[in-house]
Amino acid sequence: MDEKTFYLPKGYRYAGVNCGIKPGSKKLDFALVVSERPATAAGVYTQNLNCGAPVVYDRERTPGRGFVVVATDSGCANACTGKVGLFNARKMAEYAGEAVGATGDQALVMSTGVIGVQLPMKAIAIGAERAAAKLGTSYHDFEKAATAIQTTDTRLKVVSRQATLPGGATIRLAAMCKGAAMIGPNMATMLVTIVTDAALDPEDAQTALRGAVDDTFNCISVEGHTSTSDTCILLANGAADPTPLKGDSLKFFSNILLDMCQELAPMIPNDGEGVTHLVTIDVTGAPDRASAKLLAQTVANDALVKTAICGADPNWGRVVSATGRCGVPYDPAKVSLKINGYLLYENGVPQSFNKEEVSNSIRSNRNVSVELFFQEGDGKIRFWTSDLTAEYVHLNADYTT
Amino acid sequence: MDEKTFYLPKGYRYAGVNCGIKPGSKKLDFALVVSERPATAAGVYTQNLNCGAPVVYDRERTPGRGFVVVATDSGCANACTGKVGLFNARKMAEYAGEAVGATGDQALVMSTGVIGVQLPMKAIAIGAERAAAKLGTSYHDFEKAATAIQTTDTRLKVVSRQATLPGGATIRLAAMCKGAAMIGPNMATMLVTIVTDAALDPEDAQTALRGAVDDTFNCISVEGHTSTSDTCILLANGAADPTPLKGDSLKFFSNILLDMCQELAPMIPNDGEGVTHLVTIDVTGAPDRASAKLLAQTVANDALVKTAICGADPNWGRVVSATGRCGVPYDPAKVSLKINGYLLYENGVPQSFNKEEVSNSIRSNRNVSVELFFQEGDGKIRFWTSDLTAEYVHLNADYTT
């Protein structure tokens, strides 16, 4: 990331610190994102029924106004933790709010890490204190916060945009996210904090955010497991211009937000645990958008497809077979498939192709393209996923013990 | 398998031979199961839309009467092969029928192996010829046929039963199956041939078979991919007693069939590619049976659950989280979970437990028990799955190339 071309919205401060969530670890594990003026907040959350306590806390409060801080810990998800977990999430919001001279009601919280373990509240208290003392406005501060929310991620995941609205005001958006496993799309699919210095009314912020998430964070997967903790929060503080965006300006903003999320979302499967390929799946001609998504998602989460791509094996039958098992009705005699541009299957008939050449193409490109063409309707979608490697298994066979 | 306690139904002959489906391989790859008298046949098939040509062929003909032979090849699935594939499946039935002095209409066919490759018809012709010349009635012949239908399987999967019906007649059932990957339940999930010397009317045979499959082969998975080729066929030739079973006898038979399939079905995930644990998932107290199945299936196919078990990691949060992402409504505060009998989560609250002890219990037992308790209704199910190992990835990353 080149910090000179990274656009930081006005009126925010950031910090990432170590507070010892995992005893003995020096890793940054607590982040604060603070707005200098009360901001509108919108949120999109996991649909997992066993959602984490922070999700319960935030969901009750967004969309809304008057927020000044988002506090995030990594190392403990505070999920499947019962009433104690809910109490601790509220406490974490209080600690964060008080640390920056506000209240718990002005704070939102996010937690990620192991499920079923109670938050170490002493560490959280220390984290809020330490982070509040280190808040800064530089790209370096932003990067530290973005690092502190990560778990098994190996790459920093941050993006930004700057744009001049039709009305003349210049606004900025910036986002940080984490995610490398337990990624399966059903609403949001990881932790994301987006900040902007545009002003937005709560319902408009919520609509813009949901629209962007549907085509981006809801179109990615690593292994298809919708986590307990998926949260995507947008803060809009109006530091660039306090007038809430409406009409064309709002539409313009929504498009920039979508464009930014399109850059950010694939970074997650591209950093999926043990990943060696980022796979982009384009489905066209499906009966409708929901069908297109189900087709793409079934291919994206298929262990046989993902292992074949890991092995640079052009075993295309697994892709076609996967589309046939998901329940979407279509005519099998009107399906075509390309991998990395090579036409392997056309209108239900296998095409002859040079196996060696296609295999080399997969092996030598980290980005693999899978295109599926149906002739049923206008439904289309783009979906991103990781391949499945032995390293993913090694990483996940021994995560808590 | 102890051949002395293996009960072979009367009036069947078996053979397994090599016919060179994979050029240069000496592996047994073609099997015939022949009934000496015309038999009733029932079949349950994959619901994958891209079903193999043999599935199309058999589905049109079962349930029905007058069948004398089931021919199976391994190495080529004859799926996603268009009109040529359908022509070849019909030809394969003809070759098999003619080789045993019957017609193509009296034959059923099954194929398993790589998708998208046309059947090598010369090899199939040779296979039918060679197998017909080797047909025999011994357990050894049965075992050869059962071996010839396998692909990446490492264990023989055969079972049998003998029982005396309420009316006094003694009948026998025997079954062979293959399957080690592309196993995801939606109707049948692999190739199974069941033979009995009881007599059954076609509709009764179909009802009994569907009932047995629903609680057995439809309750297993390896990676959750419903294959193009899943087929389960039951032949009933009446060699023990030519009177079709009805009433209590039919019910008795159906129970034996179910019991036998309950022994056979878990052999598939127990021999899943690279597997080190067979996981039995028991769900009770779900809203209904369909919900219980969806809950169990979501846990069974979850890469994070499967890798945790591979690593003997008692990371139970992944199991609970998986149940929450499948769409079944339940009260998260009324869920309990046991692994290998250890109570890890009770009514939504994490229980303290000795991690070392539970981990050792998983490590030292090939059979792992996962019990999930809900308090929503009477829905319950038993489901079997494999763990997910690095070896599975190695095996599947390089299957065709």
Strands A349-350 and A220-221: unpaired
**pLDDT for B138 beyond 80:** yes
H or E stretch including B90?
Answer: helix B82-99
pLDDT tens-place string over residues B33-58:
999 989 999 888 887 787 889 999 99
pLDDT tens-place string over residues B149-191:
998 888 888 888 888 888 788 888 898 888 776 666 554 456 7
Q: What is the pLDDT of residue B186?
A: 53
DSSP B27: S
A 42-61 residues with CB below 8 A of B?
47-51
- For residue A362 the two structure tokens come to 């997969």
User: From CA A75, how far away is CA A84, in angstroms rounded?
Assistant: 17
Percent of chain B with pLDDT over 70: 95
Pair A347, A301: CB distance under 8 Å = no
> Is the reported ipTM for this assembly greater than 0.90?
no
CATH 3.60.70.12 domain range(s) in chain A: 3-270
Q: What is the pLDDT of residue B308?
A: 92
Q: What is the pLDDT of residue B188?
A: 46
Percent of chain B with pLDDT over 90: 48
Selected catalytic residue, list A40, A46, A112, A189: A189
* Pairwise CB contact (< 8 Å): B325 & A79: no
Q: What is the pLDDT of residue B177?
A: 86
Residues of chain A with confidence (pLDDT) below 50 = 1, 187-188
- For residue A6 the two structure tokens come to 């990274």
DSSP string, B338-365: EETTEEEEETTEEPP--HHHHHHHHHT-
Instruction: Kindly indicate the confidence band of residue B273, based on its pLDDT and cuts at 50, 70 and 90.
Output: confident
Q: Which CATH superfamily is domain B3-270 in?
A: L-amino peptidase D-ALA esterase/amidase (3.60.70.12)
pLDDT tens-place string over residues B321-350:
889 888 899 898 899 999 999 999 999 888
pLDDT tens-place string over residues A182-194:
666 554 456 778 8
User: From CA A295, how far away is CA A329, in angstroms rounded?
Assistant: 10
Q: What pairs with residue B74 in β-bridges?
A: B112
Q: What is the pLDDT of residue B2?
A: 59
Q: What is the pLDDT of residue B339?
A: 97
Mean pLDDT value across residues B1-15: 83
Q: Which residues of B are catalytic?
A: 189
Pair A162, A171: CB distance under 8 Å = yes
**pLDDT for B307 beyond 70:** yes
**CA torsion angle B293 B299 B302 B308 (round to 10):** -160
User: From CA B236, how far away is CA B37, in angstroms rounded?
Assistant: 10
Q: Name which of B81, B224, B225 is nearest A321 (Cβ-Cβ).
A: B225
Statement: B278-397 belongs to CATH 3.20.20.70: no
CATH 3.10.20.340 domain range(s) in chain A: 278-397
Q: How many CB pairs under 8 A join A and B?
A: 221
Pair A308, B114: CB distance under 8 Å = no
Q: What is the pLDDT of residue B28?
A: 97
User: From CA A106, how far away is CA A98, in angstroms rounded?
Assistant: 10
Comparing alpha-carbon positions, the chain B residue that sits nearest to A310 is B397
Q: What is the pLDDT of residue B185?
A: 54
pLDDT tens-place string over residues B347-369:
988 899 999 999 999 999 999 99
B 249-288 residues with CB below 8 A of A?
none
Pair A381, A292: CB distance under 8 Å = yes
Nearest to B376 by CA among B282, B283, B285: B285
Laid out side by side, the sheet with B220-221 consists of B220-221, B379-386, B278-286, B367-373, B336-339, B342-346, B349-350
**pLDDT for B225 beyond 80:** no
User: From CA B58, how far away is CA B364, in angstroms rounded?
Assistant: 43
Pair B276, B387: CB distance under 8 Å = yes
User: From CA B26, how far away is CA B92, in angstroms rounded?
Assistant: 21
A 283-322 residues with CB below 8 A of B?
302-304, 307-308, 310-318, 320-322
pLDDT tens-place string over residues B80-90:
888 999 999 99
Q: What is the pLDDT of residue A242?
A: 86
